[in-house]
Amino acid sequence: MKPILSALAGLLAASALTAPALAAPAAAPVAIIHARLLTMGPAGEIADGTLIVRDGKILAVGKGLAVPAGVQVIDAKGAIVTPGLFAPNTVLGVREVNSVKGTDDAKSASADLGAAFDPQYGLNPDSTLVPVARLGGVTRAIVVPAPGGDGEGGGDDGDGSLFDGQVLAIRLAGDLLVKPRLAVAMRFGENGAGGSRGAEIGLLRARLDEVRLYKQNRAAYDRGETRDLKLSRADLEALIPVVEGREPLLVTVHRAADIRQVLAFAREQRLRVILNGAEEGWRVADEIAAAKVPVILNATADLPRSFEIVGASLRNAARLRAAGVEIAIVSPDPAHRVRELRYEAGSAVAQGLSYAAALEAITIAPARIFGLADQLGSLQPGRAADLVIWDGDPLEPRSLPTAIYVDGAPQPLRSRALDLRDRYESGDGASR
């Protein structure tokens, strides 16, 4: 066995030396001048501003800044420059084709791996969906695992479907992974575990009690001296940061009554939670605000596709924000339509959300919600140099990026879809 392991280790070492580097090479310093900077930071909007990028970070932002020697200068000519957009609920990099199971690494079918399921190991930096999303100005995203098992719904607690898995952050260039284990995802309501809402609350309480018991008696657990626990050791370990309040539960929940139940359970268990979906959130907006719980929502969800969202409203985003709730806006599809994130924000503006709040909901707000605002989401010194130069208003569908930077590196304004379009428009496709 040892010779086999040694040979395998040698092969892995050799492949590591020959594998292409995934991270983008160090970008040259850049200064963008004469730009209308929507910084989403303390500086607010800066007319005719200058932004200087060095070593993948924002070096300086302001008006009338001196540009250091040896820096490439880009004249924005009054164009709007924003932080790269941040999509807060996607399966980018872990799902390619919805109907092809072999391309879907967004969920676990294992009975032993629910909360501990980590999608980072399925990330594909060559996914064709990443450049498509990036062309919509999206430079960062949150990957949220999908419900496990064979279906899209829940199941009983025995199939590991109470928790969906680990939430992580990615960049849309180079080596995708930014930070794993930001939260644990789960569902509550019609698609929750246990077959009913009462059963789900009971199961959830019991499982979290198991985590606390395990945490306090690891040695006894190793000796087999504790009672039998339903969760696997991997899931028990994954949920310790949740019961300690170091990681939130990202709870997909829809109707107002269920939102109240989630908020009450979080208070009882002293948990941090983030609400995902919350189509009827506007009905309990004051309660969500009082609990200081952020909401990730689809701004155009207004059809009563189930009994959980009979009260869905296009004004959900505006009403929640008016009540003081931190909101982040998602795209209409977590894989193939992430590029439409800014359209969703624009639709929310049409329904009463302020322009500033809408842009915030797709830049700095997702970064704050997931604890990344000290690195991402705004144009401030020291932040990652993710930025987009636009040829018009970024929330207008006909506007397009003229330049996109991720960690200070310029990105190609191309995708496989555009390459195929150009090939077949030119008539070259038939010969290839």
- Residue 415 CA to chain centroid, in angstroms? 21
287 lies in the same domain as 410: no
Question: Is residue 129 domain-shared with residue 42, that is, in the same domain?
Answer: no
Q: What is the reported pLDDT for 51?
A: 98
Beta bridge partners of 250: 185, 274
Tokens of 326: 């931190």
In a domain, 212, yes or no: yes
Strand, coil or helix: what is 43?
Answer: coil
Residue 19 vs residues 22, 27, 123: alpha-carbon distances, Å: 9, 21, 16
Q: What is the DSSP letter of 269?
A: H
Q: Which residues contact 368 (CB under 8 A, 6 or more apart)?
A: 294, 326, 377
Same domain, 73 and 131: no
Predicted pLDDT at 25: 52
| Domain of 419, in residue numbers | 24-84+377-432
Using the structure block, give the residue that is written with the tokens 């789960």: 186
Residue the block writes with tokens 């294992």: 110
Element (H, E) at 273: strand 273-277
DSSP letter, residue 74: E
Residues 325 and 409 both lie in one domain: no
Question: Would you state the pLDDT for residue 16?
Answer: 34
Task: Pick the closest to residue 145 from 188, 109, 101, 97 (CA basis).
Answer: 109
Q: What angle do CA 361, 363, 365 make, to 5 degrees?
A: 50
Instruction: For residues 411 and 126, give the distance between their C-alpha atoms in angstroms, rounded to a whole number.
Output: 14
Task: Report pLDDT for 426.
Answer: 80
Sequence-distant (≥ 6) Cβ neighbours of residue 100 within 8 angstroms:
none
Residues 320 and 417 in one domain: no
What is the H or E stretch that residue 365 is in?
Answer: helix 364-369
User: What's the pLDDT at 27?
Assistant: 79
CA torsion sign, 352 to 341 to 85 to 309? positive
Q: State the amino acid at position 71 in one-letter form.
A: V
Are 323 and 264 contained in the same domain?
Answer: yes
Q: Domain for residue 11, yes or no?
A: no
Residues 97 and 60 in one domain: no
What is the C-alpha separation between 417 and 128, in angstroms, rounded?
8
Q: What is the CATH number of the domain that holds 394?
A: 2.30.40.10
3-state secondary structure of 138: strand
**Helical residues (DSSP H) of 42-143, grouped into ranges:** 129-134
Nearest to 195 by CA among 164, 231, 230, 154: 154
Q: Based on the fold, state whether residues 236 and 140 are members of the same structural domain.
A: yes
Q: Does one domain contain both 344 and 386?
A: no
pLDDT at position 343 is 98
As given in the structure block, the two tokens for residue 398 are: 């006909």
The DSSP secondary-structure symbol of 106 reads S
Residue 219 included in any domain = yes
The reply to whether 91 and 237 lie within a common domain is yes
Task: Give me the pLDDT at residue 6, please.
Answer: 39
Tell me the CATH number at 338. 3.20.20.140
> 103 and 48 in contact (C-beta within 8 Å)?
no
Q: 3-class DSSP state for residue 233? A: helix
Give pLDDT tens digits along the chain (432 positions). Answer: 334 333 333 333 333 333 333 344 567 899 999 999 999 999 999 999 999 999 999 999 999 999 999 999 999 999 999 999 999 999 999 999 988 999 999 999 888 899 999 999 999 999 999 999 999 999 999 999 998 754 333 443 444 479 999 999 999 999 999 999 999 999 999 988 888 999 999 999 999 999 999 999 999 999 999 999 999 999 999 999 999 999 999 999 999 999 999 999 999 999 999 999 999 999 999 999 999 999 999 999 999 989 999 999 999 999 999 999 999 999 999 999 999 999 999 999 999 999 999 999 999 999 999 999 999 999 999 999 999 999 999 999 999 999 999 999 999 999 998 999 999 988 766 555
Total number of domains in the chain = 2
Q: Which of 106, 109, 62 is nearest to 81 (CA)?
A: 62
Per DSSP, 103 falls in state G
Identify whether 13 is part of a domain: no
Q: Tell me the residue type at 182.
A: L
> What was the pLDDT predicted at 141?
98
Same domain, 354 and 421: no
Torsion over CA: 350, 353, 354, 355 (sign): negative
pLDDT for position 111:
82
Could you list the beta-strand ranges (E) of 55-159: 57-63, 72-75, 80-83, 85-90, 138-143
Task: Give me the residue label for tokens 């066995």.
Answer: 1
Rounded CA-CA distance 52/73 in Å is 9
Helix (H, G, I), strand (E, B), or coil: what is residue 328?
Answer: strand
> Do 366 and 244 belong to one domain?
yes
Residue 17 lies in a domain: no
Structure tokens at 1: 């066995």
- Helix, strand or coil for residue 82? strand
Residue 153 confidence (pLDDT): 38
Contact 82, 359 (CB under 8 A): yes
pLDDT value, residue 100: 92
CA proximity to 89, closest of 161, 160, 140, 136: 140
